[in-house]
A = this chain, B = another copy of it.
Amino acid sequence: MTDVRVAGVGLTRFGSHPDRAGRDLFATAALRAFEDAGVAREDVEALNYGNFMGALAEHQGHQAPLMAEAAGVRCPATRYESACASAGVAVREAVRTVRAGDADVVLAGGMERMTNLPTDEVTEGLAIAADDLFEVRAGVTFPGAYALMARAYFEAYGGGARGPRARRREEPRERGSERVRPVPPGGVRRRGARRAAGRGAAAPLRRLSDHGRRERLVLVSEEYATAHDLDAPVAVTGVGQRTDRLALADRAHLARTPAADDAADAAYAAAGVEAADVDVAEVHDCFTIAEVLAVESLGLADRGEGIAAARDGLTTADGDLPVNLSGGLKAKGHPVGATGGSQIAELTRILRGDHPNSEHVADAEVGVAHNAGGTVASAVVHVLEVAE
């Protein structure tokens, strides 16, 4: 078992890039990652690539060979898909590949292109991450699903539905992810859901219109880093992946995400750290309630205390435990299949001290990344540490 280092990261800016093909942006991100890493692309032995909905958004499956060509690497290239946790799973497997000694250098990350679909088709496309037979056909969209989770949370722990933040629900023009139209008790027909999305009733997803994104990580073994005299101080010391039932109706508790609980436990155990050791976190806050649940799953706040952690300032940029110094998923537009990789890329820079927001965590040594798919039916947690 070797130590796994993040040798370098490369990102393209979040946004719509109508004038460039995905493969071109990918090539740019790869170039940046190789430059940052100081690693020759000839040394790459595997490409692990996350993408969620390319079949729908780009009429392009089988993207791994395409991205290998774009990145200029000649190696086995594999696509991983776990909805919004696609890139997280790709990185997890890359870490395992290096740790097992099957490769010294792996290029890992994700890409998602969504801006070439109309907004209502994006909503429809994202819905393939839910259970088509038992959720989507009953009218469930992702804002609807997370609204159910938020309601369950407020019912279980209070402090929400009647609290100051929840009032935003009555103010549809105000920014906030609870601003959703609840699914009627009898559900809605799928065509109805499509129309509703088109009218903007599932409002948070509108902001997904801005999210072309590719990010790449170069992961190397400690031996390779030493042999090549790389400046790669950040190590991936623990990973955990867990899977839950896909449909919300099959879960014991809508306000908990046990897949993330267990993935965090596994990652902490592998790293030999505890939640109390964590200095900084990037979490999957596709909706505000998702951040609350993530903070609790990671053990950074007690059950039912996730909202208080934010409200009391613990997890703000100047708090003791900053969460999402990168701006989080909503700030990025959440390019679904790429998000998990960008978390680790940004966390690496935060821990290295060369992220624009590194100043908030000057002495951070332990970071954790939490990436979720669907309504957390898939969860991947990575622990990153500044190595000696």
Contact A244 B65, CB 8 Å, known A79-B81, A79-B82: yes
CA distance A96 to B103 in the complex (A): 12
A contact residues, total (Cβ < 8 Å): 55
| Stretch with Cβ within 8 A of B (4 or more), from A131-139, A193-201, A210-218, A280-288 | A131-139
- Assess the B100–A60 pair: CB atoms within 8 A: no
Q: Annotate A39-51 by CB proximity to B: 1 below 8 A, 0 otherwise.
A: 0000000010000
Contacts of A59 in B (CB 8 A): 127-128, 132, 136
> Is A105 part of the contact surface with B, judged by Cβ < 8 Å?
no
Tell yes or no: A369 within 8 A of B by CB.
no
Within 8 A of B (CB), among A8-57: 21, 47, 52-56
Interface residues of A in 256-297 (CB under 8 A from B): none
Please determine whether A243 and B75 come into contact, CB atoms closer than 8 angstroms. yes
A215 to B128, CA, bound (A): 23
A254 within 8 A of B: no
A220 at the interface (CB under 8 A from B): no
Task: Specify which chain B residues have a CB less than 8 angstroms from the CB of A21 in the assembled complex.
Answer: 133
Distance between A55 CB and nearest chain B CB, rounded to angstroms: 4
A56-B56, A60-B128, A96-B100 given as contacts; is B78 within 8 A of A377 (CB)?
A: no
Are A65 and B246 in contact, CB atoms less than 8 angstroms apart?
A: yes
A97: Cβ under 8 A from any B Cβ: yes
CB-CB < 8 A to A128: which residues of B? Answer: 54-55, 59-62
Task: Given A64-B378, A96-B100, A100-B100, answer yes or no on A132-B58 (Cβ-Cβ < 8 Å).
Answer: yes
- Asked if A77 is an interface residue, CB under 8 A from chain B, the answer is yes
Interface residues of A (CB under 8 A from B): 21, 47, 52-56, 58-62, 64-66, 68-69, 74-83, 89, 93, 96-97, 99-102, 125, 127-133, 136, 241-246, 250, 373-374, 377-378
Q: A65-B246, A74-B243, A79-B81 are in contact. List 10 more A-B contacts (CB 8 A).
A: A54-B128, A61-B81, A65-B245, A65-B374, A66-B246, A69-B245, A77-B243, A78-B93, A81-B81, A100-B102
Cross-chain pairs A/B with CB under 8 angstroms, 5 sampled:
A54-B128, A55-B55, A61-B81, A75-B243, A81-B81
